[in-house]
Amino acid sequence: MIVEMKKGAAREELDDVIARAKKYGMEVQLNIGTDKTVVAILGSNTGQIPSDMFGVLPGVERVTRIMRPYKLASREFKAQDTIVDIEGIKVGGDRIVVMAGPCAVETPEQLKAAARAVKDSGARILRGGAFKPRSSPFSFQGLKTAGLELLADVKAEYGMPVVTEVVDSHEVRLVGKYADILQVGSRSMQNFTLLTEVGKSKSPVVLKRGFACTVTEWLTAADYLLAEGNSQVILCERGIRTFEDSTRFSLDISSIPVIKKASHLPIIVDPSHAAGHYSLVPALAKAAIAAGADGLLIEVHPNPKEALVDGLQSLTPSDFARLMKEIDQIARVMGRSL
Ligand code: PEP
Ligand code: MN
């Protein structure tokens, strides 16, 4: 349930709303805006409490029942867009943020060459997996802590913040020491223990959409992060499993405007894992920006033929440079810039 307070409502009136919610065993979260305060009343059985219980209290403007299971990620709770700030790089504002780099951190030379290439072309955040969630236990699992150290070295050299995946709730602290943005992968989107730990960490997070999950389930997963007080959440559409097998996953372009309507959180798009093939990545990346995405997460490898993971879908530095010029043009049409 969302309780909107009147403009200029007194603190005591707000306290009454909070006290009544607590009396019924509910949790509350406040969104104190410049204009007015919005109270989210959280709990599994808010449906059993009549909304009039709050509507009659002085200082209350309106009470809205949220029938959807997500609350904190909803536009009803927070009308203004959330802007996530990573060392001054703002995701969700006018500028499109491109995060690019290899699927996996492999060697110092590979990571440095990737960082140099993507930075020269205008990417502002470096991606690279140190812990890789692989479908098979026999596939390369990533360099783990050594990979994190390489990311830190390259970050220091090139001055680019890094995004890297955390796969285990026990490793949130470790990965958080090195990463500027924690990535929760598609296969982990409903790992609620991991989400809770990442929420507690308060680090900026990229929450990828589970490839078999609906937008509602995705936003409900985001609530796990927000409920722990981590407001730095970036959603990432990366394609879903459908009957279509000409691409690795079907990029759900429509989730971009759907999310923009339903949620205040910024959304970026990963065209690489959806496409599964380098030749398809540019079209999907451009479509995402045209549909209103706030940024992109793209796999770029200095030598895709030698990549240990996802070489087929990785762009070469020159293909990436060309794509960035095209994205720049599309961003302008959308009234934004790179
Ligand atoms: C990745 O970005 O490296 C990755 C594993 O992506 P996803 O979780 O979307 O499969
Ligand atoms: Mn990959």
Domain residue limits, the chain? 2-64, 84-333
Q: Which fold has domain 2-64?
A: Alpha-Beta Plaits (3.30.70)
84-333 CATH, one of 3.20.20.70, 3.30.750.24, 3.40.50.720, 3.40.1350.10: 3.20.20.70
Closest C-alpha residue for ligand 1 atom 10:
186
Answer yes or no: same fold for 2-64 and 84-333: no
Distance CA 147, CA 173 (A): 15
Task: Evaluate if residue 67 carries a pLDDT over 80.
Answer: no
pLDDT band at 324 (very low <50, low <70, confident <90, very high): very high
Task: Evaluate if residue 126 carries a pLDDT over 90.
Answer: yes
pTM for the whole structure = 0.91
| pLDDT tens per residue across span 79-93 | 999 999 999 999 999
pLDDT at 82: 98
Task: Tell which one of 206, 270, 296 to mutate to probe ligand 1, the residue whose CB is within 8 A of the most ligand atoms.
Answer: 270
Q: Which residues pair with 170 in a beta bridge?
A: none
pLDDT at 242: 98
Amino acid letter for position 296: L
**Residue 248, ligand 1, Cβ within 6 A:** no
pLDDT at 65: 85
pLDDT at 69: 86
**Residue 124, ligand 1, Cβ within 6 A:** no
pLDDT band at 236 (very low <50, low <70, confident <90, very high): very high
Question: Cα-flanking dihedrals φ and ψ of residue 6, to 5°?
Answer: -65, 155
| pLDDT tens per residue across span 256-305 | 999 999 999 999 999 999 999 999 999 999 999 999 999 999 999 999 99
pLDDT at 87: 96
- Comparing CA positions, the residue from 62, 7, 2 lying closest to residue 34 is 7
Neighbours of 145 (CB within 10 A): 14
Contact 226, 42 (CB under 8 A): no
pLDDT band at 33 (very low <50, low <70, confident <90, very high): confident
Q: Which of the 8 DSSP states describes residue 104?
A: B
Closest C-alpha residue for ligand 1 atom 3:
103
Contact 333, 286 (CB under 8 A): no
List, as one string, the DSSP characters of 179-225. -SEEEEPGGGTT-HHHHHHHHHHT--EEEEPPTT--HHHHHHHHHHH
